[in-house]
Chains A and B, each alone.
Chain A
Amino acid sequence: AQTVTQSQPEMSVQEAETVTLSCTYDTSESNYYLFWYKQPPSRQMILVIRQEAYKQQNATENRFSVNFQKAAKSFSLKISDSQLGDTAMYFCAFMKLGGNNNDMRFGAGTRLTVKP
């Protein structure tokens, strides 16, 4: 079974600074996706960024980028130029490729607070 671990329950960062959220996972699969979801106080689950395991290049979406280390099974999220609207819970998630079951395994989340 796949497990996802987020070791930082809470983090804070000053507005305009950079913060990195950690995620590690355990799997015997070789092909899979990794995701970061954002959950603001509105409770919506919003996809921030995703990474296909077969791609060596780290994914980037505007101010969000990942550091994907497949051998170490690590998938950290870097947020640059932090904004107040980035305040939210962030969940790391794993999904294996192929098959009928596309369910995700989620980490416990990191609560990020951006301070003015």
Chain B
Amino acid sequence: NAGVTQTPKFQVLKTGQSMTLQCAQDMNHNSMYWYRQDPGMGLRLIYYSASEGTTDKGEVPNGYNVSRLNKREFSLRLESAAPSQTSVYFCASTKGGADNQPQHFGDGTRLSIL
């Protein structure tokens, strides 16, 4: 089973460039999430989508946009990349709703902004 698949795994951008990180899950999960992981800070929620057709801001949404393309896919876009967005990005999914379950994570995308 693939679980949660993120692409690309690594990317280097120049300041001001745009980039879309892709995430897809094959577990028929309703809820999907984007986190960033910085040294000494654990994971912080950027945006989430509780169900298909909805998206909401998390803890650190500034500089990002998201699209829940369909139930399987949830993309994260950086319109104008900044060095402060250098981080490791994780996508996660869960069944959601009243039946709360642990989140399943992708393998992460290491993004460097020069």
Interface string of B94-109 (1 = CB under 8 A from A): 1011101011010110
B50–A100 touching, CB < 8 Å: yes
The reply to whether A101 and B56 contact each other, CB–CB distance below 8 Å, is yes
Is B42 engaged at the interface, CB distance under 8 Å to the other chain? Answer: yes
Min CB gap A25→B, angstroms: 12
Q: Which of A40-78 contact B (CB under 8 A)?
A: 42-45, 47, 50
Q: Mostly helix, strand, loop or mixed at chain A's interface?
A: loop
* Cα of A9 to Cα of B42 in the assembled complex, Å: 11
B43 lies within 8 A of A106 (CB): yes
Q: Which residues of B contact A16 (CB under 8 A)?
A: none
A103-B51 in contact (CB<8A): no
**Contact indicator B42/A106 (Cβ below 8 Å):** yes
CA distance A43 to B87 in the complex (A): 13
**Chain A interfacial residues counted at CB < 8 A:** 24
Q: Which residues of A contact B50 (CB under 8 A)?
A: 100-102
The verdict on A85 contacting chain B, using a C-beta distance below 8 Å, is no
- Tell me if B40 and A9 are in contact (CB < 8 A): yes
Query: Is B61 interfacial (CB-CB < 8 Å)?
Result: no
Q: B42 touching A102 by the CB < 8 A rule?
A: no
Contact yes or no, B90 A103, CB < 8 A = no
Q: Is the CB of A44 within 8 A of B45?
A: no
Within 8 A of A (CB), among B14-69: 31, 33, 40-45, 48, 50-51, 56, 58
For A91, list chain B residues within 8 Å (CB).
42-43
Return the contact of B33 from the options A35, A103, A109 (Cβ within 8 A): A103
* Distance, CA A37 to CA B52, complexed state (A): 27
State the CA gap A95–B105 with chains docked (Å). 15
**Given the contacts A100-B96, A100-B97, A102-B94, A44 and B31 also touching, CB distance less than 8 Å:** no
Q: Choose one: B58, B97, B98, B108; the contact of A103 (CB below 8 Å).
A: B58
B101: nearest chain-A partner, CB-CB:
A102
Across the interface, do A35 and B43 meet the contact criterion of CB distance under 8 Å?
no
Contacts of A97 in B (CB 8 A): 100
With contact pairs A91-B42, A102-B96, A109-B42 given, residues A43 and B107 touching in the complex (Cβ less than 8 Å): yes
Enumerate 5 A-B pairs (CB-CB under 8 Å) in ascending A order.
A43-B88, A98-B100, A100-B51, A103-B45, A104-B103
